[in-house]
Amino acid sequence: MTDSITGTTAAEGAPRGAVTFTSFLIKVASRCNLACDYCYVYEHADQTWRDQPRLMSSATVEALAQRIAEYVVAGSIDRILLVFHGGEPLLFGADRLAATARLIRDAVPKGVEVDCSLQTNGLLLKEQALATLEAADIGISLSIDGPRDAQDLHRRTARGKSSFDGTVEALRLLERHPQVFSGIIAVVDTAVVPVELFRFFSDFVIPRLDFLLPDANHDRPPAGRELEPDRYLWWLVEAFDLWFDAYSDLPVRTFDAVLAGVAGLPSNTDAFGFGDVSLLTIETDGTYHDLDVLKITESGRTATGLGVDNAPLAAAAMSDVILEHQRLLQPSGLASECQRCPERDICGGGSIPHRFGSGTFNHPTVYCREMLALIKHARERVREAISVTSAQRRTPARRLDLSRFDLAESSDGGRRPRRLSRSGRQDRPHS
């Protein structure tokens, strides 16, 4: 039988193995108080959000808690992650989020660890809401694209109002609560030069920063590429160099993943490498879905046809949609170009939604050229940094300029030497 997603037969791919869900993306609200023009929920192929209840009902929350409890018992799972998502999950209310976390924690057996987090645009994140979430031990990740001009390019209200001040207020608040601040997600627009972003984000204490390329695929290529085919490639290379030379104390997950890849270590992001499906999305009506970002491909693409009302979570793990996603994450699920690619083991064919085109995922990611260039460039930079370090090690100690060393020590009040970047250069051209 021809597979509906990839256009290949099951026999051509990896054997279909069982999937274990350990993360649950719970869409407690299907609407948003912003109207970001790149949003994968509202602005792409799948418009089924229109038919979803605005908020998840108490009955659905309770049914989901029972489904999760029976699933972790049956699978002897000892740790799960709940991600509260939307739309904007704070439209559900901080109290109800805390109650949902409590309900699920109470439903699972003692000893099962339940980590909780929230992805928010920050506009409703005020002192009281944050206190409630903190008391409920719910981590918070903030979506913000950078300084005002970057944020205002895309992240506006439906009436066109800027969201910058409200989001920065939330960022300042999160900085004061590091125990619940889990990180930032920023979508890249190549019109904003990388140094602007690094200057902005380095003014805050951020536990993790994710730069995301705009969601795109072969049917809907990245904006502006038709006029300037290399714009994303050069943006990434420039951003990587800036980070590597001057801002490496900012934990940028994408670049850490590239470095891990060139060092032969596992990647920690779904934009690189292979893996297993471990996440299930639950819509506000309680239906089970595959990865939410797949909504950029085709209408209904994420639906398993199952939900809390009619099926256990184990049934979703065996659904065609999820098993096909699992197959695509294996080396044998890659397009033939990727199979032959020298960077296959690092890139892994790229993010699955970005591989889509003409009804199939049997393509390299639409950001293939960018992946190749970034990996190659990162490898060269690492080699260069290693050779600089080796040369420095071979330099006899008597050739050190002690007066300059003393000066560097005292530039900081004599308390500590200034930090060096990975390249061995003194870091931060900007404060």
**Of the candidate residues 368, 373, 374, 378, the single one contacting ligand SF4 (CB under 6 A):** 368
Decide: is 366 part of the binding site for ligand SF4 (CB under 6 A): no
**Of the candidate residues 349, 351, 361, 423, the single one contacting ligand SF4 (CB under 6 A):** 349
Interacting residues of 13 by C-beta distance below 8 A, sequence separation 6+: 6, 327, 330, 332, 333
| Rounded least distance, CB 364 to ligand SF4, Å | 3
Distance set, CA 216 to CA 235, 294, 298, 362, 365 (Å): 16, 10, 12, 15, 9
Decide: is 72 part of the binding site for ligand SF4 (CB under 6 A): no
Task: Give the neighbor-by-neighbor strand order of the sheet with 287-289.
Answer: 209-212, 181-187, 138-143, 113-120, 79-85, 23-27, 279-282, 287-289, 303-307
Decide: is 213 part of the binding site for ligand SF4 (CB under 6 A): no
**Of the candidate residues 173, 365, 373, 423, the single one contacting ligand SF4 (CB under 6 A):** 365
Q: What single string gives the DSSP state of each residue in 128-196?
A: HHHHHHHHTTEEEEEE--SSHHHHHHH-B-TT--B-HHHHHHHHHHHHT-TTTEEEEEEE--TTS-HHH
DSSP 260: H
| Rounded least distance, CB 320 to ligand SF4, Å | 24
- 253-175-292-196 Cα dihedral, nearest 10 degrees: -60
**Contact positions with ligand SF4 (CB under 6 A) in 328-347:** 337-338, 341, 343-344, 347
Instruction: Give φ, ψ of 309 to 5 degrees.
Output: -70, -25
Q: Which is nearer to ligand SF4, 71 or 272 (CB)?
A: 272
Q: Can you say how many angstroms the Cα of residue 251 is from the centroid of all Cα atoms in its chain?
A: 13
- C-alpha 391/C-alpha 110 separation (Å) is 55
Decide: is 248 part of the binding site for ligand SF4 (CB under 6 A): no
120 burial via Cβ count (<10 Å: 0-12, 13-18, 19+)? buried
Decide: is 317 part of the binding site for ligand SF4 (CB under 6 A): no
Label the pairing between strands 287-289 and 279-282: antiparallel
Decide: is 373 part of the binding site for ligand SF4 (CB under 6 A): no
Q: Which is nearer to ligand SF4, 86 or 364 (CB)?
A: 364
Q: Which is nearer to ligand SF4, 62 or 345 (CB)?
A: 345
Q: Which is nearer to ligand SF4, 136 or 341 (CB)?
A: 341
Q: Which is nearer to ligand SF4, 317 or 334 (CB)?
A: 334
Q: Radius of gyration over alpha carbons of the chain, in Å?
A: 23
**Of the candidate residues 45, 372, 382, 385, the single one contacting ligand SF4 (CB under 6 A):** 372
| Rounded least distance, CB 38 to ligand SF4, Å | 21
| Rounded least distance, CB 384 to ligand SF4, Å | 22
| Rounded least distance, CB 230 to ligand SF4, Å | 15
| Rounded least distance, CB 268 to ligand SF4, Å | 17
Q: Which is nearer to ligand SF4, 5 or 233 (CB)?
A: 233
Number of residues that bind ligand SF4 (CB under 6 A): 13
- C-alpha 55/C-alpha 70 separation (Å) is 24
Closest CA to 88 of 33, 6, 146: 33
**Of the candidate residues 183, 222, 333, 350, the single one contacting ligand SF4 (CB under 6 A):** 350
Point out which span in 12-20, 138-146, 367-375, 411-419 binds ligand SF4 (CB under 6 A).
Answer: 367-375
| Rounded least distance, CB 300 to ligand SF4, Å | 26
| Rounded least distance, CB 376 to ligand SF4, Å | 10
Q: Which regions of 244-398 does DSSP assign to beta strands (E)?
A: 279-282, 287-289, 303-307
Decide: is 371 part of the binding site for ligand SF4 (CB under 6 A): yes
**Of the candidate residues 112, 151, 364, 423, the single one contacting ligand SF4 (CB under 6 A):** 364
| Rounded least distance, CB 375 to ligand SF4, Å | 7
Q: Can you say how many angstroms the Cα of residue 173 is from the centroid of all Cα atoms in its chain?
A: 22
Interface residues with ligand SF4 (CB under 6 A)? 337-338, 341, 343-344, 347, 349-350, 364-365, 368, 371-372
